[in-house]
Amino acid sequence: MNNMEWIKKLSDESKRNILSFIETNPDAPLKKYEAVLRDKDFNVFYNAPCLVYVGGSEKVRSLQVDCALAASYFMFSAAARGLGTCWVGLGTSIQDLEIRGQIGMPGDYRIVAPVVVMNDLVCDLIQRQRVDKRKGIDRKKCAHREAVAMIKELSLSSIS
């Protein structure tokens, strides 16, 4: 998928479903993402210009392993072409059947690996932010907004 409006729509749908899951399961590990998911400007796909969903029928017993392998090879292949990727688990929760129909993902298919493809500089930036957060470095207030703006700008010019 390379339509950013659609990718945003999928981000919103996934956020909505995860938030409603958290409401009924407040002890779920996903709870730690609640604040960021409530931020309407946060796009789980980082405003990436390209998104690939890897999934398949729930009937396949090895579905998770198959999809993880396919996603891994896809990510290596993108890296070999100088592109950045990120597996975005927060983008998995697509429940609306109309939306699923439009992206060719039937209701009985499971989305295992949403993978965004983007400019590798953007990917580095996202990664750095994540490491800062883990180390407790509070560059957030200045860096977060700045990074989001930069990500948007770079994403738009990233791949053609």
**Which residues sit at the interface with ligand FMN, rule CB under 6 A?**
86-90, 127, 130
Nearer to ligand FMN, 101 or 130 (CB): 130
Beta bridge partners of 50: 117
To the nearest whole angstrom, how small is the minimum distance from the Cβ of residue 70 to ligand FMN?
Answer: 13
- Which residue is closest to ligand FMN by CB? 89
**What is each CA distance from 64 to 58, 67, 90, in whole angstroms?**
9, 5, 16
Q: By three-state DSSP, how is residue 60 classified?
A: coil
Closer Cβ to ligand FMN, 3 or 127, answer by number: 127
Q: Is residue 71 classed as helix, strand or coil in its secondary structure?
A: helix
What gap in Å lies between CA 86 and CA 104, rounded to an integer?
A: 21
Identity of the residue, 4 or 48, whose beta carbon is nearer to ligand FMN in the bound complex: 48
State the Cα angle at 39 between 19 and 147, rounded to 5°. Answer: 130
For the CB of residue 101, give the shortest distance to ligand FMN in the complex, in Å. Answer: 24
Total Cβ atoms within 10 A of residue 112: 20
Kindly state the smallest distance separating residue 87's Cβ from ligand FMN, in Å.
4
Q: Which is nearer to ligand FMN, 56 or 160 (CB)?
A: 56
Backbone angles phi, psi at 85, to 5 degrees: -140, 160
Q: Give the nearest distance from C-beta 84 to ligand FMN in angstroms.
A: 11
Smallest gap from Cβ 89 to ligand FMN, in A, equals 3
Alpha helices, DSSP H, located in 31-139:
34-38, 63-80, 97-102, 120-135
Residue closer to ligand FMN (CB basis): 6 or 87:
87
